Structure 1
Amino acid sequence: MGARIDFNCDLGEGCGNDAAILPHVTSASIACGGHAGDEATMRETLRLCHRHGVAAGAHPSYEDREHFGRRVLDVAPAEIARMVRAQIERIRAIAREEGVTLAHVKPHGALYNVAADDRAVADAVAATVADIDPTLALYALSGSELARAGLDHRLRVAHEVFAERGYDARGRLRPRGTPGAVIESLDESIVQVRRLALRGEVVADDGRIVAIHADTLCLHGDRPDAAEFARAVREALEADGIAVRPFGAAA
């Protein structure tokens, strides 16, 4: 079987690009009230996913709308579990009303990055997902503690890589605000995407080649050129003969 990958985007965050992005992706992680989103945006994004045949997932975060969920909050794992549960259950109820079955959960922002290295936080997220619905897939930074926790809690885990984020030598995302953390050039992003999808590797900030497993490729929907990136990335993947399918979908 040839190379294949899921292409996902974080949506429902009020950035205005969703309708233009969705025709090019196969999965969407939808903000569910923690860092962005409300009932209206969740409902509209779910409807768009249904219309375009895109797999829909929950995108829970720290409850921190002021900082878009990108600030680390000093909260205990039990409180993280409460926040994640409340957000997943909220969008899950709306999805049922819209005739959509949620396919996955992907933490957002600071919560995602903390769970990548902090096993207690990773377990809080994974255990909550498994308790709500063990058929949900867990999207986690490739090779992270969150990925390992998901497997330990018997979830299907999608090892996630990023189209337009820089990596360090550990295979972790470079912190936002540091040089090279965000890839602004579409051409540079396409080079990274092809390397990830075809060779399972990425060039780190120190020039090292880091092996990395890629089940799903993420594009951030809050960048102003996200629709252009989405179209170009999808075209590049397909031009290389890579099957772009939702995670877990039949070949």
Structure 2
Amino acid sequence: MEWIFITLASLLAGFVDAIVGGGGLVMVPALFAAFPSAAPATLLGTNKAAGVWGTAMATWQYSRRVQMRWSALLPAAAAGFAGSFAGAWAVTVVSPDFLRRLLPLVLLAVLAYTLAKKDMGRHHAPRFHGSAETVAACLVGLAIGFYDGFFGPGTGSFFVFLFVRWLGYDFLNASASAKLLNTATNVAAIALFAAKGHVWWHFAVTLAVANVVGSLIGTHMALKHGAGFVRGIFIVVVGALILKTGYDAFLR
């Protein structure tokens, strides 16, 4: 029953994550509910090992239909990988607990700004070009990559928001770009978890297949319905993240 439960959760996580990020919001609580006595690091490592395949598949699917700005995004993905690895190392020497109370407030500000700016992310008008865009994308990759390795919740949403707000992408292009960077940060995290033996590979394989199926469905929906649909899902996911992180920070 646990296997069926977490496989269905992985399917839903892949669907949500492919559209706007936030698959961990579904998958991580499901793993902790199914295996309450397991080491948290093992469940987090298993989640990453499964989810990276859906994220990579979404990147490939988007790249076939969306004009990816590879000259900026590939260096940004490398920066994200380096940032994530550095963040994962940092968490071994510095506690991330101070972020628990800050995170829901930051997410609330992101949500309020997105709701206030009703036209934000509806039109694709990149603000930077050439080397300036590469530098801006690399700064996003490095900063949010570090956050992903150090703490993690809301990584996909932060990638999307910064690509929309700072780089001038619409929500569809921002989501496509975020997938590439998120794949890189996840690979860095998996390398660390796997090296320390914190991945249940026998579960990860099944979960990865389900995650890819969910990712294919989610990508199809996003490409079919466009930036407005992705914006709506973004608002829902950020709202759910606020509730989850707020509960963890102030009530639990």
TM-score by length of 1: 0.28
Greater relative contact order: 1 or 2 (C-alpha under 8 angstroms, separation 6 or more)?
A: 2
Q: Which has the higher strand share?
A: 1
TM-score computed with the length of structure 2 as normaliser: 0.28
Q: Which has the higher helix share?
A: 2
